Structure 1
Amino acid sequence: MTAIPSLLTPGCIVRHPQCPDWGVGQVQSVVGMKATVNFEERGKVVINLAVVDLDLLETDRD
């Protein structure tokens, strides 16, 4: 499922669709249209949600 920015909250588990080798990531923070995500194989990355549609794997509400 593509993540809608308003659904992303700290703790959500996501995947970057163009960079599957980064592994899964956990959202650390979301400010406006930017999310900081800590990926297993890449580390912390700031993602512009206006450009990248992250794949939402699970939410912190699951």
Structure 2
Amino acid sequence: MVDTAPFRSMIEPGQWVRHPVHPEWGDGQVQSAIGARITVNFEHQGKVLINAALVDLDILG
């Protein structure tokens, strides 16, 4: 049986996060979170679309 439940992330717009594999990107603020698609504006990388089903972003404070 295939799990067809929609992906739910604990990340919400406005939260500050850090990418666990790319700490050099700096802290990032979540711009949008729709299903597994998380758009984050990082200090040193700009806007990046993250697949939250594949990357577990670190939520800051």
> With structure 1 as the length reference, what TM-score do the two structures score?
0.82
- Partners of 1:43 and 1:14 in 2: how far apart? 13
Q: In the alignment, residue 32 of structure 1 is paired with which amino acid?
A: G
Q: CA deviation at 1:43?
A: 0.1
Q: Which runs of 5+ in 2 are unaligned?
A: 1-7
- Number of corresponding residues: 54
Give 2:45's aligned residue. Answer: 42
Q: Which runs of 5+ in 1 are unaligned?
A: none
The runs of at least 4 consecutive aligned structure 1 residues that moved more than 4 Å come to none
Q: In the alignment, residue 21 of structure 1 is paired with which amino acid?
A: E
Higher strand residue share: 1
Give 1:19's aligned residue. Answer: 22
Task: Give aligned-pair identity as a percent.
Answer: 57
Higher helix residue share: 1
Q: CA deviation at 1:44?
A: 0.1
